Amino acid sequence: MTDQPAAATDPAAATDAAAATSADSTATSADPADWRDGVVYQIYPRSFADHDGDGTGDLAGILDHVDHVGPDVLPIDAIWLSPIYPSPGRDLGYDVTDHTAIDPLLGTEDDFDRLVAACHERGINVILDLVMNHTSDESAWFLASKASRDGPFADFYLWRDPSGWDADGKPLPPNNWVSFFGGPGWEWVPERGQFYYHTFLVGQPELNWRNPAVEAAQWDMVRGWLKRGVDGFRLDVFNAFLKDADLRDNPVIEGGSPWSRQDHRYDLDQPDFLELIGRFREIVDEEAGRMSVGELFTGGTPTAAAYTRGRHIVFDWSLMESPWTAAAFAAGIDLRERAYGPDLWPTIALSNHDRERQATRLSASVGRDRDPDRAAIAKAAAVVILASRGAPFLYYGEEIGMIDVDIPREEIVDPPALLAGPDFPWYDRSRCRTPMQWQPGPGAGFTTAKPWLRLADDADTRNVAVQLADPDSVLAAYRRLLRYRRTAPALRHGAMTRLPSGDPDVLAWTRTADGQRLLVVVSFVGQPRQLDLGTLAGGRWRAIVGSHREPAAVAPDGTIALRPDEAIILEAADG
């Protein structure tokens, strides 16, 4: 589903004075089964690898390339699979007909079990994307619910009588709620004589989480996946599950679209949501080492922090919405650290299946959307992701600097993008979901057929095979950083303190844990910069790893000359 919320703050408006503030925080990972500090790699199954030659990625294709996310290439801790359930595909898998099964388009039940086993053999955990706010209107639950006001599924969805009738005898919606995708949020069903509510597409009716039978059915499904070896879940739009019991009108406010012209007081973030999600988390916690990550649907970083509990973390978008400037990232980091404090563990992600790819977005945000700037910024961003405090989430293809692809309207596969207009601005998510680029040649190693989405024009030069052979590539930078991170307790679970760098274009912070003290410096500009590390952080430092193959060395006088777009992790040289 979407995660395109309104930002809680404007990080780009930060001043240099704000950038000089310090944010101190700690987080521990004493339980060896607690992998919050590990790195998660998001796979969009339709676009990762096509095994059966039909042009669409599948589970067997992921299994073919499972060693790409193993210790010999990208040493990550978990994979997150975007939805793999049967679906008519109106929202590309986020409209589910059966939460308990595998979509035949993506493979078989055995393919899934083999993939889980292969991941576990390599020490890789498996996270499933759970879509529990709504189903497809082709779900057996919904078909039974629509057919009758009686029976076990009658109250599985948000059905309501009209609030009245207009002069032409047409039914009026129960309240003023709208759809995030534009238009009214209520759909009339003549055969039942009632409306149902949908936050998203008409074909995604909202489940009634206040019905105990709905909750019981969902928990049975969760337990089923856990029994099959799943280690955790990403929860789609989880703060939208519960609605106001009385379905009261949302207050009307100023805004640029029908959705933003409402204060979503009664259709999101209900007071008893934490009790509901707590019951889910108790099920996950029945075995040590499991976790979940919630997708916050609208709302800012403080809300994400408020919903975080232990191994159950929550996405926030403060950095994903920041332009590539030191001031913006400083403000985003400070906002996160204030909200989460020393005891809560944040996430860090700069892209995903709903957002522009970071090599495109970050470079474009500062007018540098071109090569070689894209690659340089992508490598520096890798340091930000892997050296900040929090659980890093990497979107497939970012490790080779994949970019957004221009998709002609007739090839768009993101249904809401076809509804875009003045009242509904929308980013075409087809652009960031194009096939993984494995090697030069037709199909880029993704498929032997016509790919379901067009490949990028640079697939012959920007791919895994080419970059594995290039020690200066984006992939080489990710491999260096991931390998080092595995050995560095300060990066995995250490405290983070941001420091005033003395340069408005350079960000600096320390990470400390288990006797290790690291200093991270990131240049956000394409010109050289020089820092005095003694003044910045005290003591003596040695460069360990960074965005360049050989990081800039620290001079005898304690200064360091950063090359354009360089980011470096340094270790204290005096204990």
Question: Would you state the pLDDT for residue 375?
Answer: 97
Residue with tokens 């844990």: 513
Is the model's pLDDT at 326 over the cut of 70?
yes
Task: Report which residue type is found at 360.
Answer: T
Give the type of residue at 260. Answer: S
Handedness of CA 338, 339, 341, 346 (dihedral sign): negative
What is the per-residue pLDDT across 478-493, written as a single tens digit (0 to 9) for each?
Answer: 999 999 999 999 999 9
**Where exactly are the structural domains of the chain?**
11-133+211-480, 140-197, 490-572
| Residue 465 in this model has a pLDDT that exceeds 70 | yes
Q: What is the mean pLDDT of residues 280-296?
A: 95
Global pTM reads 0.93
User: Which strands sit side by side in the sheet containing 159-160, from one edge to the other?
Assistant: 159-160, 194-197, 186-189
- pLDDT for 27 equals 40
Write down the pLDDT at residue 4.
38
* pLDDT score of 575: 54
Average pLDDT, integer, range 413-422: 83
Average pLDDT over the chain, rounded to an integer: 92
What CATH number was assigned to the domain covering residues 490-572? 2.60.40.1180
Place of tokens 């494995």: 438
Q: Decide if 220 is catalytic.
A: no
Least confident of 17-21, 40-44, 240-244, 518-522: 17-21
Band (pLDDT 50/70/90 cuts) for residue 416 is: confident
How remote is the C-alpha of 482 from its chain's centroid?
A: 19
Domain 11-133+211-480, what fold?
TIM Barrel (3.20.20)
Q: What string of DSSP letters covers 101-137? A: S--TTT--HHHHHHHHHHHHHTT-EEEEEE--SB--T
What pLDDT does 299 receive? 86
Q: Does position 573 have pLDDT exceeding 70, yes or no?
A: yes
pLDDT in tens, 370-383: 999 999 999 999 99
**Bridge-partner residues for 197, per DSSP?**
186
CATH number for domain 140-197, candidates 3.40.50.720, 3.90.400.10, 3.20.20.150, 3.30.390.10 = 3.90.400.10
State the catalytic residue, choosing from 246, 286, 557, 574: 286
Q: What is the pLDDT of residue 307?
A: 97
Map tokens 């191994």 to a residue. Answer: 311
CA diameter of the chain? 84
Q: String of b and e for 257-287 (b: at least 16 CB within 10 Å)? A: bbbbebebebbbbbeebeebbeebbebbbee
Cα gap 499→503, rounded to integer Å = 11
Please write the tens of the pLDDT for every residue from 39-61.
999 999 999 999 999 999 999 99
Phi/psi at 232 (5° precision): -175, 175
Residue 550 annotated as catalytic: no
- Answer yes or no: is pLDDT of 192 > 50: yes
∠ at Cα 292 (81, 22), nearest 5°?
Answer: 110
What is the mean predicted confidence (pLDDT) over 437-443? Answer: 97
Q: To the nearest whole percent, how much of the chain has pLDDT over 90?
A: 88
Predicted confidence at residue 33, as pLDDT, reads: 59
| Secondary-structure breakdown of the chain: helix, strand, coil percentages, each rounded to the nearest 5 | 30, 20, 55
The dihedral of CA 364, 366, 369, 374: what is its sign? negative
pLDDT at 456 over 80: yes
Is the per-residue pLDDT at 273 higher than 60?
yes
User: What are 254's two structure tokens?
Assistant: 């100023």
Spatial CB neighbours of 284, under 8 Å, sequence gap ≥ 6? 222, 226, 232, 233, 290, 291, 292, 312
Q: Say whether pLDDT at 355 is over 50.
A: yes
pLDDT digits (tens, 9 = 90+) for 552-569: 999 999 999 999 999 999
For residues 431 and 356, the answer to whether their CB atoms sit within 8 Å is: yes
Please give the structure tokens belonging to residue 57.
């990625």
| pLDDT band at 268; cut points 50, 70, 90 | very high
Predicted local confidence at residue 448, as pLDDT: 97
Answer whether residue 17 shows pLDDT above 90. Answer: no
pLDDT of residue 22: 35
DSSP calls for 512-533: EETTEEEEEEEE-SSS-EEEEH
Which of 236, 267, 334, 399 is catalytic? The answer is 236
Alpha-carbon gap, residue 124 to 312, rounded angstroms: 18
